[in-house]
A and B are shown apart, each in its own frame.
Chain A
Amino acid sequence: MAEIVFWAAFTCIAYVYLGYPLLLMLWRRLAPRAVHKRHQEPTVSLVIAMHNERKNVQAKIRNCFELDYPPDKLQFIVSLDAPTDGTDELLRDYAGQGVDIVYCPVRRGKAETLNSGVAIATGEIVMFADSEQRLEKPAVRELVANFADESVGAVSGALVLLDTQANEATDGVGLYWRYEKKLRAMESDIHSVPGATGAIYAIRRKLFVPLSPGTILDDVVVPMRIVLGGKRAIFDPAARAYGAVTQSPDHEYEKKKRTLTGNFQLLVEMPELLVPWRNPIFVQLISHKLGRLIVPYCLVALFVSNLFLLDGLYRIFMFLQILWYMIAGVGWWMSHCGELRRA
């Protein structure tokens, strides 16, 4: 019994982190689906939802003005969700400079704030961005070029996490994010990604369906609806946004916790995603999103079952697991020591 549990857990973990990327590599080689990208200039509405963003708002607007795209074809919309830190006052100066502001005095959450922003959008393409990250100058141009391909309904850009030296982060969190981006690129090459990057993505406006109040992951719900509707949601690493890497894995953990709560919400609110003949990227969703939800329990099962199997090969597995968790303990200690020192 312990052996069955051990190997089932091992297979699940190995598939999610190694088997699935290998499957994607093979799939991409056997059945690639190219995107016919062509530079064009359709009208674009850039929607940014904000709550209390006093420290970011001015830099974000300046960043938007610097984008390499014809100003007469680019509409800026800032949708405010009852800010209390004076974000709205700082924005007032920009109201006459081509920024459309939607103000709601009552807190409604991000999903409804985005709905309000899109409601006044006039562009053929709607682009979404966050207030913290900086968009690269050609980001809009790169994103919209993908819409020349009629099969594409949504395009996600890449978020590049920078360290304190302004280089792409390569520590624990940075490495994890780079692995994620590689997966997304491969998923995109065969059909679609099961989710976009909230900091930079765009869709055809006609495909937008207002989000339900309380939606946690707008950047997953919006592209997944488009995929269920028969279009592709692709990933284009040439469209980039830059953000600072979180100071420690614990900060990333908080974000991840929110994302994974959103994944459970997604499966409850869109059960059709779990129907293979309704969801064209069923395998990707199960392997990428659902697999991640199951792996923690497999890790526990792997360790516990290994306690009952301590002969031969299993002894090596036990040793490796203990070593792994001991190094993780050292990592925890280092991470917290760093925070104490900073404090």
Chain B
Amino acid sequence: MSKTLGKILLIPYTFVLMNWAPVAGLYYFVRGRPMGIWNPVAVKHT
């Protein structure tokens, strides 16, 4: 029961977080910082 409630309570948080990601994505794109260890350009920054 409490597990199900926990899952339900996580839905709005996941929704907000997933919708914040495009804003962060735009920020990184505009700053010219491609994401992820796979990209050598990103490696130089980290």
Q: Which residues of A contact B (CB under 8 A)?
A: 51, 81, 107-110, 170-173, 175-176, 214, 216, 249-250, 252-253, 256-265, 292-297, 299, 324-325, 327-332, 334-335
Contacts and interface: CB of A to CB of B under 8 A. Distances in A.
Contacts of A297: 23
B23 to A, nearest CB: 5
Q: Which 9 A-B pairs have the closest CB atoms?
A: A331-B13, A260-B25, A172-B14, A258-B35, A172-B10, A110-B38, A328-B12, A256-B21, A264-B29
Interface in B29-45: 29, 34-41, 43
B46 interface: no
A253 B17 CA distance: 6
B10 A261 contact: no
Contact of B12 (A171, A173, A216, A325): A325
Given A260-B22, A260-B25, A261-B25, A109 B14 contact: no
B28 to A, nearest CB: 5
Contacts of A292: 22
Contacts of B34: 214, 216, 261, 265
A329 B15 CA distance: 12
Given A110-B39, A295-B19, A172 B13 contact: yes
A332 B13 contact: yes
Contacts of B40: 107-109, 214
B29 A261 contact: yes
A258 B36 contact: yes
B13 to A, nearest CB: 3
Given A214-B34, A260-B22, A261-B34, A249 B13 contact: yes
B38 to A, nearest CB: 4
A202 to B, nearest CB: 21
A173 B20 CA distance: 14
11 contacts: A81-B38, A110-B39, A172-B11, A249-B17, A256-B18, A257-B28, A261-B34, A265-B29, A329-B13, A331-B9, A335-B13
**Which of the listed residues A260, A294, A334 has the most CB atoms from chain B within 10 Å of its own CB?**
A260
Given A260-B25, A296-B20, A176 B14 contact: yes
B11 to A, nearest CB: 5
